[in-house]
Amino acid sequence: KNQVEQSPQSLIILEGKNCTLQCNYTVSPFSNLRWYKQDTGRGPVSLTIMTFSENTKSNGRYTATLDADTKQSSLHITASQLSDSASYICVVSFPVFSGGYNKLIFGAGTRLAVHP
Amino acid sequence: ETGVTQTPRHLVMGMTNKKSLKCEQHLGHNAMYWYKQSAKKPLELMFVYSLEERVENNSVPSRFSPECPNSSHLFLHLHTLQPEDSALYLCASSQDPGTDPSYEQYFGPGTRLTVT
């Protein structure tokens, strides 16, 4: 069964600290992996997208890593800011051959709170 | 703003009411989606429209009825809902429905629905 599991479920850190969020997936075959940020009361916004051949991708203070062999990804946030408080969602895309398109499987997200 | 708007932002309805959610995208995209997001659960894909034609219906109860009159507008008609239908309903759009694996979905802010 295609699944995306994220940990931890929630996390509290102090402003300025770093943190790492984890994502494990069982999706196969695999097209790409994305990380989204969802602020409270907003829709998700894409942070990074990686294919199986990419090991790391950065977007400012956000760095995503991917190990396609172990089917694990992480999102590292450096020098956290209060505005980083949000849910971070891991999303894996896989091809649906009968439909000729790619489908997204969403994780439940990690809720991050950055405190002053 | 992502270019995808949703109205209303909040909706409270009784189980016997009929209401509609509206989504509009200003991005010139050809595909539109409805998702349901319940607390602490992954986003659930409900419907996919490509060029105004429904291409996916994920076993959604008939009390949810989508309508896509053109590529810029998407509606979700609601009737005789249950309290467990209370959730955040997100609309998204993309250039195509996923034939390109790297396709990006742009989400609206969502409608927070409460069924009493």
Q: How far apart are CA A76 and CA B67, in angstroms?
A: 40
Cβ atoms of A82 and A111 closer than 8 Å? no
- pLDDT, tens digit, 9 for 90 and up, residues A39-91: 998 999 999 999 888 999 999 999 999 999 999 999 999 999 999 999 999 99
Does the CB of B94 have a partner CB in chain A at under 8 Å? no
Q: Which residue has the higher pLDDT, A33 or B58?
A: A33
Q: Give the tokens for residue B47.
A: 């419907």
- pLDDT, tens digit, 9 for 90 and up, residues A18-28: 999 999 999 88
Give the largest Cα separation in chain A, rounded: 50
| pLDDT value for B102 | 77
Residue linked to tokens 């051959």: A97
Find the mean pLDDT for residues A103-110: 92
Helix then strand then coil, in percent of chain B rounded to 5, is 5, 55, 40
Query: In this structure, which amino acid lies at residue A87?
Result: S
Cβ atoms of A112 and A85 closer than 8 Å? yes
Nearest CA in chain A to B5: A43
pLDDT band with cut points at 50, 70 and 90 for residue B61? very high
DSSP B99: S
Among A44, A51, A102, whose Cβ lies nearest the Cβ of B107?
Answer: A44
Across the interface, whether the CB atoms of A101 and B41 are under 8 A apart is answered no
Asked if residue B57 has pLDDT above 80, the reply is: no
Q: Which of these, A1, A27, A49, A34, lies nearest to A95 by C-alpha position?
A: A27
Asked if residue A31 has pLDDT above 80, the reply is: yes
Q: How far apart are CA B96 and CA B98, in angstroms?
A: 6
Residues of chain A neighbouring B4 (CB-CB closer than 8 A): 43
